[in-house]
Amino acid sequence: MRAEIASILAFGVDRSVSRGTTALEDPTISTHAKRLRRRRSSGQGLVEFAIVGGLLFFLIFSVMNAGFYLYGANAMQYAADIGVATIAAEGNYDNTGIPAPNNADTIAISRMDNDGLNSTPLITVTEVDVYKETVTAGVFADATCGGVTCENQYTATGAVKGGTTIEWNPAVRNVGPTPDYAKLVIHFSYTLLIGTMTFQSTTVNLFRLEPQQ
């Protein structure tokens, strides 16, 4: 029995540790490795945040711009509706003996101004045009007056645009049993929330003057 125990002790398992294992278990090296892993994890998180955060900001920015643009476009259309109703009702009104607004077009622009034409955020009106229209088989086309398009070009405040003349005088508009057709066009630009980039747009409204006795 004693001989067997001695044999076991003589050929027992070597419990010594190799240098490589000792190095891995070195607390100094272990702490350094943990720090490297933390730095790598932190750097990876910053990169992911930059990518996801950038996409999220772009999405929010796009949604906000779309919302402001739709609001501005709706405001311009509402102002155009006011202008159409005014020009149709005023017909051939033209009184040059009084200060402006003194005809159907300038009165319409003045009323549009009261309803947001020049006060809508991020929207700048560049021009307001009034055309005489012809209708053939249900198709509208710009009429001509003396070989040029019957078009009156105004600024956003109702003044005649520089370099242009009144081609379709309100005083000669037909408001009889078969009144004239007309077109009102508002040219405006939308400026982005950030930066100075702008987008050009228009509203186009076709209508007929109201018959007047």
CA distance 208 to 56: 48
Q: Is the peptide bond before 121 cis (omega within 30 degrees of 0)?
A: no
pLDDT in tens for each of the 213 residues of the chain? 555 555 544 545 454 545 555 544 555 556 666 665 666 666 677 777 778 878 888 899 889 999 999 999 999 999 999 999 999 999 999 999 999 999 999 999 999 999 999 999 999 999 999 999 999 999 999 999 989 999 999 999 999 999 999 999 999 999 999 999 999 999 999 999 887 899 999 999 999 999 986
Long-range CB pairs of 135-142, under 8 A, 24+ apart, other chains included = 135/181, 140/181, 140/183, 140/206, 142/183
Alpha carbons 103 and 93: distance in angstroms, whole number = 5
Distance, CA of 169 to chain centre: 35
How far apart, in whole angstroms, are the C-alpha atoms of residue 207 and residue 213? 19
Question: Which two three-digit tokens encode residue 61?
Answer: 């920015």
Whole-number Cα distances in Å, 53 to 49, 66, 193, 210: 5, 20, 19, 56
Q: Break the chain into its structural domains and give their ranges.
A: 59-208
Largest pairwise CA distance in the chain: 138
